[in-house]
Structures are given as structure tokens and as C-alpha cells.
Structure 1
Amino acid sequence: MDILERFITLWVVIDPIGTIPVFIAVTAGMATAARRSTALLATIVSAAVLLFFLVFGQLLIDALGISLLSFQVAGGIILFMFALTMIFGDSKQESDKRSVEQDADLPDDSRPSPAIFPLAVPSLASPGAMLAIVLLTDNNHFAVTDQIVTAAVMMAVLAVAYLFMLLAEPIIRLIGNSGAAIVSRVMGMILASVAADAVLSAFVEIMSTGSL
């Protein structure tokens, strides 16, 4: 898998553009300095979560005795279902805004920081991103150098997401909510193709080796 394919996969599952309207919604009324610190904290937390899955994700799978090919099939199916929600369901910003509205009913001392929820998890470090990062760092298919490259690509995508959050208002004025929804659905189609390829590749290897 080349760098471009890794970048596209991580770009789709992290979805920096889809995070922009969510960021605007949860930081409405904040001062400029508070908005910047929220964007930075969300980026740091999401990076920590995804790095955890990059380093320990396969160890947890091995400890549970789960075959990586089985995980690849399951992960591919889940990524495909995630892609279908991007294409046919509510856009990312609509679903995450709904979570924000539900969270608004909680007492002030019970609300998590908006940088952690919903920005870091599940907007940036989404379940799809967690699965994708494990599949992209499979020890049986990728050398340590490849995994380091994947980590660097992931950090680059998160850095772009951070930049987009800082530039959220000008970007949303430029493309509008409808434009963001269109981009999200196109990314969903790309993710569906990547997920299907992961499942088919796993089945081909299962058939060629005759075992999981």
C-alpha cells in the first residue's frame, strides 16, 4: 500500500472537512483563544487515541486470539457500513450536532469538554478511524518502517484537521453546509471501495493459504 492510498484512507475515516461544522457548533460563543485551545486539545486527544490503537490494537487482538484476517474481514464490513452511513444517512456534522444537542440537556458539571466529545471522539477519532489504523499497521503485512510512515500520514491528516478547525468559519462560508455534505458523501464512496478491497483481499488470502 503506497503513501497516497494510506493518506486517502485516513483522510476519509478522519474526515477533516466533516469536522468543520461540528467545530463551529460546539465553539459558538467562545472567544478566539478558547476556540484555538479547543481545536488543539481535540487534535491532541484524537491523536493519542489513534496512536494507542496503532501501537496496542493488534496486541489486544492477538491477546484475544483473534485472527488478523478475521479482523480484516470484520473491520472491512464495519468500514463499509460506516461508509454507507456517510452516503445515505445523516452527514457527519448533522449526527454530531445532534449529539451536542442531547449533551446540552446534561448538568454543566456532567458535560465533557467539547474538545473531547464530540470533536476528538467520535468526530476525529471515529470508530472507522480506529479500525482503519489497526488494519493499516498489521504486523503480518507491514514492516515497522511502513507503520511509522502510516503514523506520520495519520498525524499529517490530523494536522490538516487542526488547520481546518482554525479556519472553520471562512471554509464553511465558502462551501456551505451543503458543500460539506456533498464532500462527505463522496468520501463515503471512496471509503466503501477501500473497505470492499480489504474484505476481498482477506478472502483471497484465506483461500490461497487454506486457513485463517
Structure 2
Amino acid sequence: MTQTFIQTFILLFLVTDPFGNVPLFVSAMAQVPKQRRWKIVVRECAIAFFVLLLFMFFGRHLLAAMQLSQISLRIGGSVILFLIAMRMVFPQPGGMFGDNGKGGEPFIVPLAIPAIAGPSALATVLLFSSNTTTEIVIHVGALVAVALVWLAVFLPAERLQEKLGPQVMAAFERLMGLILSAMAVEMFLAGIREFIKSL
């Protein structure tokens, strides 16, 4: 049970990539008054949390409605995770999600979606659809724990970026990308094994 919680927590931490999103949060709120920034951070994290929670609970019904199997979602999700991991290891000029522009107060886009609750995170929580109460509690608990990490990282985002510096932040993001790529490959192989068993 503990191992499952830790694995779920690590996977959610990697796909939401809080440290990698620090520069995006800092730049998106550059024009926002300082006294409002913490409120925006809490709001965006709450929106991302509830979106992921919604996908976690209704993911199985969504799959059934779209006539998708768990196997195809696992393989497709692994490909998305791998592409995100590659962008973390080899950064693009526009960042992981492209150039989002500046100015005004951010609302939902780009901070809640897709920075935190992006395609890889949504695909990942869809895989957490469970039948047992124990697994549901573990997955929700891991999501709550990760949401607390978001707040711990994004609330002091400006100070964190200043103290660690861009080089350390970039190195940390590349390390997370490397770990995420290995997890994506493992998820892909698991999907292939399930597909072969279903033949």
C-alpha cells in the first residue's frame, strides 16, 4: 500500500512538473500586483486539482463512452509522457507548452491547464480508475500530497528562482525528464505486455 502511494505520488509529481513550471508561473504573474499573486496561485492549483480529480473518478466512464480500452490509453499515455520528458531534457524555445504570452491576470490557461493539469497528467490520472476503495483512497491521497507540493513550490516561486538560479532549475528539470522518460518506457512496455496477453 505504501509502495503504491509512493509510486503514484512520484508519477504525479513528475507529470505535473512543479519545479519545471516555476519560470512559467513567475513570468505569467509578472504584471500582477504582489498582494494578489498568492491568491492566483491557490486558485490555479485548486482548479488543476479538481480537473485531475474529475478525470480520476470519471475516467473509466469517459473511456467507455469513447470506446477506448485501458491498454490503448496506457500505450497512448506513455507516448505523451515520453514526448513531455524529451521536452524537459531538451528544452524548446517556447517551453514545454509553447509561448503563452504575457500581460493581464492568468486564469485557468496557461497555469492550471496545461502547465499543471496538462495532457500527460490527465492521461496519467485516467489510468488510476479503480474498483477498490483502498486504491481510490491511495490515488486521491497521492493527488492531495502532490497538490500541497504545488503550493509549496509556486507560492515562493520568485524567491525560489532567484536563490537557485536558472542553471540549477534547468538541471533539476532535465533530471526529472530523465526519470519520467524511464517511467514512460516502462508504461509502454506494460501496455504491450497487456496487449499480447489479450490476443
Same fold (TM over 0.5): yes
Q: For the Cα contact (< 8 Å) 2:86–2:177, is it kept in 1?
A: yes
1:210 corresponds to: 198
Q: Does 2:92 align with 1:98?
A: no
Shift of 1:121: 0.7
The 1:4/1:48 distance shift into structure 2, 3 A limit, reads: same
5+ residue gaps, structure 2, are none
- Call closer, same or farther: CA 1:179–1:97 in 2, change over 3 Å: farther
Higher helix share: 1
**Aligned-partner residue type, residue 210 of structure 1:** S
CA shift for structure 1 position 97: 7.6
Give the match for residue 144 of structure 2. Answer: 155
| Contact kept? 2:73, 2:123, Cα under 8 Å | no
Please show how residues 17-28 of structure 1 align to structure 2 within 5 Å.
17-28=19-30
In structure 2, how many angstroms separate the alpha carbons of the residues matched to 1:146 and 1:90? 37
- Deviation for aligned residue 1:95: 4.6
What SS does the corresponding residue of 1:18 show, helix, strand or coil?
Answer: coil
1:94-173 correspondence to structure 2 within 5 Å:
94-95=95-96, 98-101=99-102, 104=103, 113-135=105-127, 137-139=128-130, 143-173=132-162
Which residue number in structure 1 is paired with residue 65 of structure 2?
63
1:72 pairs with 2:63: no
Taking a change above 3 Å as real, the CA distance of residues 70 and 94 of structure 1, as seen in their structure-2 partners, is closer
Alignment of 1:7-46 (within 5 A): 7-46=9-48
What's the CA shift for 1:100?
Answer: 2.3
**Unaligned regions of 5+ residues in structure 1, if any?**
none
The 8 Å contact of residues 73 and 198 in structure 1, kept in 2 or not, is answered as yes
User: Shift of residue 181 of structure 1?
Assistant: 1.5
**2:5 matched residue in structure 1:** 3
C-alpha contact (below 8 Å) 2:82/2:181 kept by paired residues: yes
| TM-score, length basis structure 2 | 0.89
TM-score of the superposed pair, with normalisation by structure 1: 0.84
The residue identity in structure 1 corresponding to 2:168 is G
Of 170, 174, 180, which residue of structure 1 is paired with 2:169? 180
The one-letter code sitting in structure 2 at the alignment partner of 1:118 is P
Structure 1 position 35, deviation (Å): 0.5
Q: Secondary structure at the match of 1:99?
A: coil
Q: For 1:201, which of 190, 193, 197 is the aligned residue?
A: 190
SS in 2 for 1:13: helix
Once residues 53 and 151 of structure 2 are traced to their aligned partners in structure 1, the CA distance between those partners, rounded to angstroms, is 17
Deviations 1:66-105 (A, max 9, x none): 11111111111121122112112328x845582124xx5x
